[in-house]
Amino acid sequence: MLVSLMPDGIPAYLLVARIASVLGMSFALAIGLLLLIGGLVVPALIAFALFLPSIALMVFVERHAAAEPG
């Protein structure tokens, strides 16, 4: 018996975008914190700024999926 892990009605690209977005956010925050602990403030701020494209990707894809009919 084959069990699907993807709920009905959720497109595959939405799941891929969620995973990529969460990974991007977690890596950006983790690297930023490690750099901050190491005393490298400017690179840490750059790493923290790289959090924004990941959250923007998630917001964009979620809104696009909500606007799709069906």
- State yes or no: pLDDT of 6 exceeds 80: no
Cβ-contact 14, 64 below 8 angstroms: no
Per-residue pLDDT averaged across 28-48, rounded?
93
> Out of 19-28, 31-40, 58-67, which region has the weakest mean confidence (pLDDT)?
58-67
Contact at 8 Å (CB) between 64 and 52? no
Beta-carbon count within 10 A of 69 CB: 3
Q: What angle do CA 18, 24, 27 make, to 5 degrees?
A: 135
**Taking the CA atoms of the chain, what radius of gyration do you get in angstroms?**
16
pLDDT at 11 over 80: no
**Mean pLDDT for the stretch of residues 41-48:** 93
